[in-house]
Amino acid sequence: MRLITLALTALLILIQYPLWLGKGGSLRAWHLDQHVIAAQKKNDELKARNAKLESEVQDLKDGTGAIEERARYELGMIKDGEIFVQVVDPHNKAGTESASSSATVQTGTINNTVAR
């Protein structure tokens, strides 16, 4: 009697192994679910980025405000009739072009419109 119980228990364990740890088992399904969740999160982030880029492209196509803003901040352009004032850090004694241009681009530009 004890031998039959032991044999049936061993068979039960052998049958359960593929269910839990086999190729199509519960553990594998859980890992695949985790991969799906990670992929969906990445897709949501990429969709948000694409929506932001799409709105920026639409703004660049339709309006001149975004183009003007990019020209001012990225290229340092000014309008006709404006006065360009450059504030230089007096403690910066480097005197090189890169130091003065980085000060201009990052913190040193002030644009004032001339009243006519």
| 44 vs 81, more confident | 44
CB of 113 closer than 8 Å to CB of 81: yes
How large is the C-alpha radius of gyration of the chain? 33
- Residue type for 27, please? L
Write out pLDDT tens, residues 11-23: 998 888 877 777 7
Strand partners, 85: 110
| 27 vs 38, more confident | 38
Q: What is the pLDDT of residue 95?
A: 52
Separation CA 2–CA 53 (nearest Å): 72
Instruction: Please classify residue 10 by burial: count the beta carbons closer than 10 Å to its beta carbon, then call 0-12 exposed, 13-18 middle and 19+ buried.
Output: exposed
Q: Does pLDDT of 114 surpass 60? A: no
Q: What is the pLDDT of residue 108?
A: 40
